[in-house]
Amino acid sequence: MINSGQIPISKACYHLDISRQAHYKWQQKDKNIDISLKFLIYDIALEFPKYGYRRITAELYRRGKVINHKKVLRIMHEENLLCKPKKKLRITTTDSNHDYTIYPNLAKNIVLT
């Protein structure tokens, strides 16, 4: 009835207790595009398992699909395709357990002026 114009959208949304924005978002959502896009993202994720959403967005662009990176991130999050970020290695620079001679700190008590 809303699409045919019998009921104004604002009144219908008010009585259904939803916002007009939610109605328009629901109306514009095309599930066929999302499904085909999901399969394409799956294919890229299987081909390149270490790719994150930025690289997958770039690969989609290379394959002719122009899509926002936020939508790719949302789809990957919903489908649990996100990679775990690499942990940064902390390099230990001091090794106190060695057999070399340990020299005293001669500048310990010197005050610089």
In this predicted structure, what is the pLDDT of residue 33?
Answer: 66
Is the pLDDT assigned to residue 16 strictly greater than 90?
no
Residue, of 24 and 80, whose pLDDT is higher: 80
Following DSSP, what letter does each residue of 75-101 receive, concatenated?
Answer: HHHHTT-PPPPPPPPPPP----S-SSP
In this predicted structure, what is the pLDDT of residue 91?
Answer: 84
Instruction: Give the pLDDT confidence of 53-111 residue by residue, as tens digits.
Output: 999 999 999 999 999 999 999 999 988 988 877 788 888 888 888 888 888 999 988 98
Confidence of residue 13 (pLDDT cuts 50, 70, 90): confident
Rounded-to-integer distance, Cα 45 and Cα 21, Å: 33
Q: Which residues are CB-neighbours of 83 under 8 A, at least 6 positions away?
A: 49, 50, 51, 52
